Chain A
Amino acid sequence: MPSIQMTNVTKRFKDIQALDRVSLNIQNGEYVCILGPTGSGKTTLLRLIAGLTSPDSGKLTIDERPVDTLEPEDRGVAYVPQQYALFPHLTVLENVAFSPLARGHGRSEAYETARKVLRMVKLASREGALPHELSGGMQQRVALARGIASGASLLLLDEPLGALDARLRMELRIELRRMMKNLSLTVIHVTHDQEEAMTIADTIVVLKDGTVQQIGSPFHIYQDPTSIFVANFVGGSNFLPGVVAKTERAASIVELSEGIRIRVVDRSYHRGESVIVTVRREATTLTSHANAKENGVPARVKNVSFLGSFVEYGAVLDNRETVISKIPTSLVADSRLPFEIDDRVFVIMNPEDCKLFSSPPLGLANDLETF
């Protein structure tokens, strides 16, 4: 029954600080996603837990035992790397049955386990195929099946859905979570895809430049991001620079350039301070008439794109800042989109949905960079 504790774990490779004082607790049975852009240290973190590399400093324990005192076979860990190393001369079934056989299970039992897991990853019909006969996505699912069949109670998955088509990835996300929960496994899953992390995880760890930016449930991270980076990287947001012009009993009035004023239910900053107003794209809407109470700001529609569940509008304010607004398709009658390019509109940003951050010292663009 694995639980994992990391305290101040640091790891350097030559001139790269891969991980910088990372502290993390993972409970038994938890599904954790490590989320971050390329180069943020996600894979290094996973390899440390797998025991494939060791920290320069800091403490890492699995079930309260330091990881370096555990023999690999005693860790109960299955590591599924991004470059899935399948045995090329073994069939899909043999690949998946390999680990149960190696652990001394009888042939029929091992094959039964393998078949069960292959059904889970929707590959039962290809059990006789050799790896090279399969697509990249299928090979990835075989690797995942092999990890599950190994009987490990802790599964470390590095971009397990990365090689799949968008469509299959979406289906398997939900499937993967269900599978792991049914098997009561503890899972640490590395991904750069925030939507994937939101869908699957109990807990998300957001990493950037080797440091933990925020840890929390998907709801918590989305609803209450503690930095501009997280607000942008997870879920996306609008960011409008301004200055606090006035504070009231329950709200602040922020003045953007060109005298545009926005009411925000957030009193964390003083009058005169430079701030960034953030508001989620799906929390904004466009209308053809104004309502001052809801921060109706005049704008012109610059672009429209249809995303399926949402219609996304880019609206340019009079100060040339763009607000992106996502309107649920359920509000679209027939297939006529409510606004067209160049339409004059008002952007509605409900004061309760707006939040303030301190203006970043190195500039907003620096905090929004995701490479």
Chain B
Amino acid sequence: MPHVTVRDVSKRYPGLTALDHVSLDVYDGEYVSIIGPSGCGKTTLLRCIAGIIEPDEGEISVDGRPLIGVPPEERNIGYVFQDYALFPHMNVKENASYGPRVKGFSNRRIRNIANETLEMVKLSERSEARPNELSGGAKQKLGLARAIGSAPSLLLLDEPLGSLDASVRLNLRVELRRLAKELGLTAIHVTHDQEEAMSISDRLVIMRSGSVVEVGKPQDLYLNPQKIFTANFLGEANFLRGTVTTTANEGMTLDVQGERLEIPWRDIPKDVIVAIRPQFVQVSKPEKAPEGWGGRIVDKAFLGDATRFELELDNGLKVTARMPWLGQDVELDVGDETITKFQKDKILTFPHPTGGLESELSTG
């Protein structure tokens, strides 16, 4: 049974359609992230679910009833803000007590909940501190403690890690998922960070220009996206124009700007866009790989867990490759002649978009 149901919701502002007939189900206990470029409507959608914004059309219900018109203290929602929104004049413990206090719980129960939630986010030792004495990461842990203190069944998180240092973000995102799962909460998390979304979510909702582009599990959307926009937005990809030349029982051959590309058979039109993620592009020296596309390395960057290469192929195509860490420096350098191959089971194909490739890729 879905916990949150969004049906055909639209929201318009003067000169802007923030949400355009959006429908979505979030199931009980699920951790779902809504992701898309700035201005795609993800925050508006979250606020509509919270009952803060009223849609122009459509219906939203949480646990079977709409939240519009329900007083905040009766909504069973915890909300975590990007900028923490802590009460500056209250100490850590008082902030953590706020939720249960608004709910009208007894003093004893309020105290217990505050102790418990601060314990969960590992802030018990700072309970007397004021928010301005805390680091960014600790502030957001407190924001989270306060949100779960009102014993919600639904946790809404609006760019909760957006203001934090990269290293703090990595630690805290693990905590977010752990807490939501331990408490059996349904969580909806808005972010523009692809890796963050993929790493913590059961499912992702990809949005663009007020519409839902695609919904699915992180690995399915990453490895098998149905839309060009998803392939591009959720991690990088090389996009190449191709034409089907021959089709056999099990495989087919494409012409990609004069080079042959063999792919497993699939039902596709003649004109296609071939997409391949940089980490599925294999680069080697010609003496080590007899077959593939010739070219050379024009740029190389060491990234730690991988090395990134920019290649210029003999047919004029530019391709990015990413080779995973191998324990030592990769023996390939700028200027080297190379042979490039694509990992066969990771080649994606899409019908050539009628509006052109550029508009499909635009993340602006």
Chain A partners chain B:
yes
Complex CA gap A197/B247 in Å reads 46
Whether the Cβ atoms of B198 and A309 lie closer than 8 Å is no
One of B7-15, B82-90, B187-195, B352-360 at the interface = B187-195
One of B67-75, B100-108, B162-170, B288-296 at the interface = B162-170
Whether the Cβ atoms of A329 and B223 lie closer than 8 Å is yes
B245 in the interface (beta carbon within 8 A):
no
Whether the Cβ atoms of B192 and A282 lie closer than 8 Å is no
Whether the Cβ atoms of B167 and A306 lie closer than 8 Å is no
Whether the Cβ atoms of B167 and A370 lie closer than 8 Å is yes
Whether the Cβ atoms of B324 and A308 lie closer than 8 Å is no
Q: Which residues of A contact B345 (CB under 8 A)?
A: 333-334
Known: A306-B219, A309-B279. A222 touches B346 (CB 8 A): no
One of B52-60, B110-118, B150-158, B228-236 at the interface = B228-236
Q: How many residues of A contact B (CB 8 A)?
A: 53
Whether the Cβ atoms of A283 and B325 lie closer than 8 Å is yes
A347 in the interface (beta carbon within 8 A):
no
Q: Which residues of A contact B195 (CB under 8 A)?
A: 166, 307-308
Known: A334-B345, A370-B167. A235 touches B194 (CB 8 A): no
Known: A192-B166, A194-B166, A371-B135. A306 touches B222 (CB 8 A): yes
Whether the Cβ atoms of A198 and B304 lie closer than 8 Å is yes
Known: A222-B302, A280-B325. A330 touches B166 (CB 8 A): no
Give per-residue flags for B164-182: 1 if the beta carbon is below 8 A from chain A beta carbons, else 0.
0111101100000000000
Whether the Cβ atoms of B304 and A370 lie closer than 8 Å is no
Main secondary structure of the interface of B (DSSP, over half): mixed
Q: Which residues of A contact B329 (CB under 8 A)?
A: 219
B218 in the interface (beta carbon within 8 A):
yes
Complex CA gap A213/B327 in Å reads 23
Known: A165-B38, A307-B195, A310-B305. A330 touches B135 (CB 8 A): no
Give per-residue flags for A227-249: 1 if the beta carbon is below 8 A from chain B beta carbons, else 0.
00000011110000000000000
Complex CA gap A192/B170 in Å reads 12
Minimum CB–CB distance for B54 against chain A, Å: 25
Whether the Cβ atoms of A192 and B167 lie closer than 8 Å is yes
Minimum CB–CB distance for A332 against chain B, Å: 8
Whether the Cβ atoms of A334 and B343 lie closer than 8 Å is no
- List 19 other contacts, CB 8 Å, given A235-B305, A329-B223: A38-B136, A192-B166, A195-B166, A195-B303, A195-B304, A198-B302, A199-B303, A218-B303, A222-B304, A280-B325, A283-B325, A305-B199, A306-B219, A307-B199, A308-B198, A308-B235, A309-B279, A310-B305, A326-B305
Give the interface of A toward B (CB within 8 A).
Answer: 37-38, 135, 137, 165-168, 170, 174, 177-178, 192-196, 198-199, 217-219, 222, 233-236, 280-283, 305-312, 326, 328-330, 332-335, 337, 350, 352-353, 370-371
For the complex of A and B, the 6 pairs showing the least CB-CB separation, nearest first, are: A328-B324, A166-B193, A193-B166, A305-B199, A235-B304, A370-B167
